[in-house]
Structure 1
Amino acid sequence: MDEKIRMDCSRETKVSGRRRFRVLLVCTLLYVVVLSVSVFMYLPDLFDRNAWSEMGVNIFLWRLTVSLLAWIWSAVLICILVRMHKGRGPFGGEISLGMYITGAGLMLVAFLFPFIKGYTIEMGLFIQFGEYFTIDGFPFVIGLLCLILGYVLRIGVGYQKEMEQTI
């Protein structure tokens, strides 16, 4: 009864679609970088000519916000590409950090933008405390959902690391 049991405990697992994911990731990264650069390229011109008043306060502020968030997500996508290039999985703490920053930024925007003269709440969703304190409800809810999703991603990445260590 001399049986030999062989167990393969290597961490190398073949994941299908990795190349397609990288191509999609690089295309998304290029688009996000072009989006963020395009807004920052015209920003000094907008302040010099005072063109933001012609464009509208809402459009100007939201373009600036989307550009800042695009820079953050550019950094997150670059971190994911680096992780994949090193042979590790695409999911790490960068995604949850990006979601936390996005959620906190959108919640901050929801508090600050209503105080800017000329800003109007267009979605009809707002939270008002008293006469003078208004919160733009749409970015507030989206920011809250981003914070929740960031927490869920952080927990998932923690479980993934724990499972990799036990195997």
Structure 2
Amino acid sequence: MRKAIVVASCLLATAAAAGTETLGGWTTTSEPDDGRATLVTALAAARGASQDDPSFLIVRCLGGRTEALVGTAGDWGLPRSSLEVVTQSGSGAQETSRWDVSTNGKAVFRSEGVEDFLRRLPDDGRLTIEVRDRIGGVHANAFSLEGFGEVRARVASACGWTP
């Protein structure tokens, strides 16, 4: 878990001039990106993440594009492939979709419908994420969404969409 928090912290420490704020369990960093506003938020997972479990969740506006990604301290797959990810917020229905694997195999990015996915998440509560790796293993963890309503509003504002 400590390693995951360090990884998430490193992702946030991209500019010396960045402003950092805590919203619930989220750490929010704002910084300029080629003249556009950029907002990066990261959340450490609930305790108990093993090496290959989801260990951090990042929602960000980067260069005017909204992104959602889940990362691990381990390794999930071959770069530039996609993996099945199952998400469930609270007692709601499970949603299964394909997320793209990062170039280092340590994260998956939701490639389609990111804004709609973020709109469906509650302002508070829990989000469970299961990642099915390239050999069929299932790696799961739960994230607290405390403070997410404000996070979503800020990302939407930075990227120009309605929350």
Tell me the TM-score range normalised by the shorter chain: under 0.3
TM-score by length of 1: 0.26
TM-score by length of 2: 0.27
- Larger Rg over CA atoms: 1
Which structure has greater strand proportion? 2
User: Which structure carries more helix by proportion?
Assistant: 1
